[in-house]
Structure 1
């Protein structure tokens, strides 16, 4: 072993307690050279050698840096799919005959209806508009028909259906009933008739995803 090797070995082996040797003494006497951690004897020629303080204080070999931890399963997994909101439907009452229906629009547009169909007049429409008057249901069809058109126009009023929002449970029940009825129609329909029914079924199934 050369001098440098013996020097490094001495520096590592001479460590005691928690201290690390950073200075080595080169002692020469009687033609011999000794490397030691303590100062040389008085009758020996002494040289000091400074070593880099690279070893840990406890004499242990410094651990290797750990590789970065792999991403957890939560980090590598795709983001969760956004939950489908519950369907929003409205229960409406038709102004002309009081029949209930469901709609996605809670503010239906006003429309014109004959005054007689609203229950305000007890006699038949023909009598309300004038005996013998042939009045069509739409005012524009009676333009130019003389007195009958004037009576029909005066007796048409603006009405609007009344709606209220359905609870999620009510909306889901309505959608399930509609889906069952539509699927019965699909089973009984000819292939050429199934296009609109299949499209409606796809729409209903998409809405039902929000029902859990």
Structure 2
């Protein structure tokens, strides 16, 4: 018995300190509130939450206590910049034509020029220059005099006797395709020659030179990666 009383006595100071530290919970406001409507002797009306003063007409009414509006929802988080950059920007699509070949052609006398289609300039040549045999007639007067054996043989074909018979044909100069780098260099040389001619040309010729230079610039941009 004495031990229990001593234990309780030792715990009393601790309980007193704990009780002092415990704060009461705030009282919850009533759901309704009383509003007093007061009318003075001069007919002045006022509304208040306390009873009217002496000498004033009083009307009391129970009303719902105003409540705070609910908290507004948090605004949506902004889109991070990385997500905005995830969509690739629209780009203009440029279609390039395949590079056009350029050919170098050689004339019979060794002169060189360029061609866009690989067909050299045409020229007329006699057939005998291409190795076609020509007929040499043996009906010349006196040809068989003193040669009785020739009268027994008919005329023969001599392939080594180049007799011009008037026949001929059209042939073209030989052309070979240039490498891409050399083709671009030739196109730039052609444009430089056009610009040199432009200064001494008449106005009518200058219009044609401008058109040709625009075509060369477009081809250089497409085939050679720039001017």
TM-score range, shorter chain: 0.3 to 0.5
TM-score (norm: length of structure 2)? 0.41
TM-score (norm: length of structure 1)? 0.44
